[in-house]
Structure 1
Amino acid sequence: MSPSKLRQQAGRLWRLFATGFSFSAFGIGGIILWLLVFPCLYFFVRRPRIRIHFARAIIRYSFRGFIGLMSFLGVLRYQIIGEEKLERKGLLLLANHPSLIDTVFLMAFVKHADCIVKSGLWNNLFTRGPVRAAAYINNEQGSELLEACIATLKDGNNLIIFPEGTRTPANGDIQLKRGAANIAVRGLQNLTPVVIHCEPQTLGKGEPWWRIPERQVQFVIDVKDDIPIQSFTETGDSEVMAARHLTEFLQHYFNQEKAHHA
């Protein structure tokens, strides 16, 4: 085996170890937050609004540390384009979802972040403490889910949504659900698209963490200019039709951006 092949193989083995170490640290950190940090927060901070603010800040910096750890260990590199746009409040952030850690990236770099979490995360050993303390929106709220999303935006929080509802399939075809468009239309909320590019692809839908690529992964988080909602709500169409047209527009938008990066 040539020296270059040996270096490549050694690098891949190191990244496999570093990836496993990083995810183990993530899990252990979640348990520590659940068992030690957040109980102390509940004890010392009695006012729910302030407690939620601190909980979300703790999660943000914990996720920032996790991303920093993976970068330090050489698992990945990342670039954030348009980060200054995330300094605002009341943003409805819509992102594509190529990788398992997309959520971690956005939660790490978006201040005042709120998100919709699956009910399973409310009962998961590693995540239940953080998501409950931070009062994120449970997707099992039924008819109240839409109102909760609009309310958190009006309260100045930045709501992160992956309108695909799950990670992008292996064929790369982005198919959006209509929930995010309904929030934008009914809440008269402009949208801030975030295009996430991951090269080479890793931690995709149905892909185990140990199936790492041959080379180091590069993430690009591109915060795009806002999409004004008025062009969809001032056409005279019903809210249902406006949400449908917006979803079609966004699906074309994200697929076009993906093709541009390919």
Structure 2
Amino acid sequence: MRAVLRVLLNAYDHLVLYLGLIWLGVMCLAWTPLALLVYPLLSERRGRALGRYVIMAGFRLYLASLSASRRCSFDLEALDALRDEPSLIIAPNHPCLLDAVMVISRLPNVACVLKADLMNNIFLGAGARLARYIRNEPVRRMVHLATDDFASGSHLLLFPEGTRTVTNPVNPLKGSIGLISHHAQVPVQTVLIETDSAYLSKGWTLFRKPPMPIHYRVRLGRRFDPPQHSQHFMAELEHYFAHELVQGSAFYPTNSLPMQPDRKL
């Protein structure tokens, strides 16, 4: 009997995984022609507001669908405290591909820095362009576009690792977040994303099933003032992530993950 239950549960897990991915793809493809249609018809302000709201609603619906399966759980309520905050750079660590989905699903006015090739992606490109998301290159243009976007009171989602985490607890950080914060004089709000699964981490293929259930928790970290010296700021930020992701983790006992050596700040 137990063997039968394990087989049935494994089949259900596969169903949740694959139907979830198909559901997300269908939502993105359904929005693509509509986003292409309204892009030239709306002003930049209205297009940006509509594009960001639709992406937030779509991602929230997707995560709610996964939660309803009882095979994934998402504790994201901490992000709600940022909704009415003035302009911020939201800086999470980046354990998996769902990180941006989780953050955006709670915030109606957030620009996301995307890799340039994603801006032309059939699933994401049209919606990203309508929402006035920002390409990550060239760096000078990225900094200027991000600075201009803050004029509307928006938030900017930027992963300081630049790619998904491959070195626990955090990769070496990229300097672009310090440049934007310094140039725009906007604070950096750290966000700590934790999970008990390696699903969709770096190198994890899209259709490979992980052990389930999977749990995700997001909590707010320290808020950093705009830096005067970017190099010092980046060292302090990396030091903060490296320690806080271990000491405050919901899923790992204290000191169970390898610690980064202390840096002279």
Q: Tell me the equivalent position of 2:208.
A: 211
**1:78 matches 2:74:** yes
Q: Offset of 1:30 from its aligned partner? A: 1.3
Q: Secondary structure at the match of 2:207?
A: coil
Partner of 2:196: 199
Q: Does the CA-based 8 Å contact 1:60-1:107 persist in structure 2?
A: yes
Query: How far 1:80 moved relative to its partner?
Result: 2.1
CA contact (8 A) 1:97 1:164 kept: yes
Q: 1:84: Cα distance to partner?
A: 3.8
Q: TM-score, normalised by structure 1?
A: 0.87
CA distance in 2 between counterparts of 1:255 and 1:29 reads: 36
Secondary structure of the structure 1 residue equivalent to 2:12: helix
Q: Which consecutive residues of structure 1, in runs of 5 or more, have no partner in the other structure?
A: 234-241
- Residue pair 2:110, 2:154 contacting (<8 A) in 1 also: yes
Task: Letter of the 1:64 partner, please give it.
Answer: R
**Correspondent of 1:27 among 19, 25, 32:** 25
How large is the RMSD of aligned CA atoms in angstroms?
2.0
CA shift in 2, pair 1:12/1:39, >3 Å? same
Q: d(CA) in 2 for partners of 1:142 and 1:256?
A: 29
Deviations 1:115-154, CA, capped at 9 Å, x for gaps: 1111111221111121111121122344221111122123
Identify the match of residue 116 of structure 1 among 113, 117, 126.
Answer: 113
Aligned to 1:107: 104
Contact 1:81/1:223 (CA < 8 Å) preserved in 2?
no
Q: Is the contact between residue 161 and residue 173 of structure 2 (CA under 8 Å) also seen in structure 1?
A: yes
- Measure how far apart 1:20 and its partner are: 1.1
TM-fit CA distance, 1:22: 0.9
- Counterpart of 2:105 in 1: which secondary structure? helix
In the alignment, which of 41, 57, 63 is matched to residue 53 of structure 2? 57
Q: Does 1:125 align with 2:122?
A: yes
| Same amino acid, percent of matched pairs | 22
Aligned to 2:136: 139
User: Which residue of structure 2 lines up, in the alignment, with residue 252 of structure 1?
Assistant: 239
Shift of 1:217: 0.7
Distance change >3 Å, CA 14–CA 98, structure 1 → 2: same
Cα deviation for residue 110 of structure 1 reads 1.4
Please state how far the C-alpha of 1:172 moved relative to its aligned partner: 4.1
**TM-score normalised by length of structure 2:** 0.86
Read off the aligned partner of 1:57 and give its amino acid letter: Y
- Classify 1:27/1:170 alpha carbon distance in 2 versus 1 (closer, same or farther; 3 Å): farther
Which residue identity is paired with 1:177? K
Residues 259 and 54 from structure 1, CA distance in 2 versus in 1: closer, same or farther, beyond 3 angstroms? same
Equivalents in 1 of 2:171, 2:7: separation in Å?
33
Question: Which region of structure 1 is more displaced relative to structure 2, 54-63 or 208-217?
Answer: 208-217
**Number of matched residues?**
248
- Could you tell me which residue of structure 2 aligns to residue 157 of structure 1? 154
